[in-house]
């Protein structure tokens, strides 16, 4: 366009000025907004507010940094910052949540409640909003209303369950029945609370809460909690409960007075074995493998190759914990083939886990190229419900002390006699 008049020249100059101002504002706003999300100091965050006072993000960042300071001046600055952020971004549920927390810290509970309500209106289906609002209600002494929100949050975000269980326990005044009421029928929270109760020594309430969960949920959603709970029961001498919890966590059926994998059809794990699985001691002697050509039934037997173990410490033991009925009498039946030269003897032994007391020893294993069946009986003390059955060698008391050869095991069995 030819600039042949003063009006046209002024118009062009005005346009350039407007575009320049717009670009400068946009550049400044963009830099301030970006910097406010990355700043690591309160001073810089407050400086960015001056650069871009109409950007809610700069006010929000400055308020967050101020909230970390416990002084009265900082709390006031934080509240002012969140108020400005809410005014500039009235439809951001995140800003409303933080504004509500700032009001609560300032002792303005009624206004804080309104802020959390507004966040819930803006994002009614967001678990983070329900979680924040529920925690606020609990802190205000409205635990029943608060846990309605918390349970709703956990349905979509089960990772909240562990913290919620601790909150339920504390909010109940360490009252197990009241804490269970807070958990309601939300399975992830009930599972997490059962673990909290067990850690506090409330084992009966914990197992009752766990048994009330649907079996499919125990398997799929809260398996890790179940395994922790089972270990806690095991460590506290409640072996039948521990077996039941672990079995259901894995989607299996628990069977009291029975071996896990009595026919050695599955490999024996040396790491992360279940509480009631076969376990091996440390070391490499004997070497242990599944054997598919020499077996009594099924696909495999267990093959143990002894390579001249000369002392007690060099021979690792094979064992399994078994949940049993207190006061019951059992007969342990075992089948084996042995091509062994050993001094001292190798035998099966049964001990009460919690009492650390040997209940019975079987006869020494003897050389036999055919499958041999032997058995011995033991009585369970009335004050325990768990035993450990171990294949071990007697203590070395002199020389020579050496074990060499092969041993096959298969088809172990516990039979209750009374």
CATH class of 279-416: mainly beta
Sequence spans of domains, the chain? 6-249, 279-416
Fold of 6-249: 1.25.40
State the chain's mean pLDDT as an integer. 85
On the question of a common fold for 6-249 and 279-416, the answer reads no
Is residue 69's pLDDT more than 70?
no
Please, which pLDDT band fits residue 364 given cuts at 50, 70 and 90? very high
More confidently predicted of 362 and 72: 362
Cα distance between residue 393 and residue 315, in whole Å: 8
Q: If pLDDT is split at 50, 70 and 90, which confidence band does 23 have?
A: very low
pLDDT digits (tens, 9 = 90+) for 241-278: 999 999 888 878 889 999 999 999 999 987 778 999 99
For residue 373, the cross-strand partners are 335
Q: Does residue 88 register a pLDDT over 70?
A: yes
For residue range 289-313, list pLDDT tens digits in order: 999 999 999 999 999 999 876 665 5
Indicate whether 357 pLDDT > 70.
Answer: yes
Question: Would you state the structure tokens that stand for residue 189, as one six-digit string?
Answer: 């929270």
Q: What average pLDDT does this structure show over 190-195?
A: 95
pTM summary value? 0.80
Percent helix, percent strand, percent coil in the chain, to nearest 5: 50, 20, 30
Please compute the mean of the pLDDT values over residues 133-162 and round it to a whole number.
Answer: 96
Residue 125: the pLDDT is 94
Reported for 33-36, long-range contacts at CB under 8 A and 24+ positions apart, including other chains, are 33/57, 33/58, 36/60, 36/61, 36/62
């Amino acid at each position: 366009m030819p600039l042949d008049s003063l009006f046209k020249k002024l118009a062009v100059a005005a346009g350039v000025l407007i575009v320049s101002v717009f670009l400068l504002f946009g550049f400044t706003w963009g830099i301030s907004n970006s910097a406010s999300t990355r700043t690591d100091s309160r001073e810089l965050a407050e400086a960015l507010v001056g650069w871009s006072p109409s950007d809610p993000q700069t006010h929000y960042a400055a308020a967050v940094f101020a909230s970390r300071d416990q002084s009265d001046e900082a709390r006031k600055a934080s509240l002012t910052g969140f108020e400005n952020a809410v005014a500039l971004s009235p439809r951001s549920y995140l800003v409303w949540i933080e504004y509500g927390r700032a009001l609560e810290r300032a002792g303005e509970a009624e206004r804080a409640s309104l802020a959390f309500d507004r966040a819930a209106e803006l994002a009614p289906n967001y678990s983070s909003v329900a979680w924040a609002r529920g925690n606020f209600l609990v802190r205000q002494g409205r635990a029943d209303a608060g846990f309605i929100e918390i349970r709703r949050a956990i349905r979509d975000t089960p990772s909240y369950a562990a913290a919620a269980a601790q909150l339920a326990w504390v909010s109940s005044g360490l009252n197990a029945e009241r804490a269970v009421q807070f958990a309601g029928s939300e399975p992830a929270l009930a599972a997490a609370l059962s673990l909290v109760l067990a850690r506090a020594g409330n084992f009966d309430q914990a197992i009752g809460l766990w048994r009330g969960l649907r079996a499919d949920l125990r398997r799929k959603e809260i398996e890790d909690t179940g395994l922790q709970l089972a270990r806690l029961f095991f460590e506290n001498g409640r072996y039948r409960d521990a077996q039941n919890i672990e079995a259901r966590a894995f989607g299996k059926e628990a069977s009291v007075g029975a071996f896990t994998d009595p026919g050695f059809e599955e490999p024996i794990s040396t790491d992360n074995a279940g509480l009631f699985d076969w376990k091996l001691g440390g070391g490499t002697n004997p070497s242990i493998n599944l054997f598919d050509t020499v077996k009594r039934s099924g696909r495999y037997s267990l093959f143990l190759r002894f390579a001249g173990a000369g002392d007690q410490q060099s021979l690792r033991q094979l064992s399994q914990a078994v949940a049993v009925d207190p006061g019951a009498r059992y007969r342990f039946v075992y089948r084996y083939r042995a091509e062994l030269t050993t001094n001292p003897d190798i035998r099966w032994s049964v001990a009460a886990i919690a009492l650390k007391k040997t209940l019975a020893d079987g006869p020494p294993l003897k050389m036999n190229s055919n499958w041999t069946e032997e058995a011995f009986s033991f009585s369970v003390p009335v004050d325990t419900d768990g035993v450990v059955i171990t294949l071990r060698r007697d203590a070395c008391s002199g020389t020579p002390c050496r074990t060499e050869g092969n041993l096959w095991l298969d088809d172990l069995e516990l039979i209750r006699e009374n």
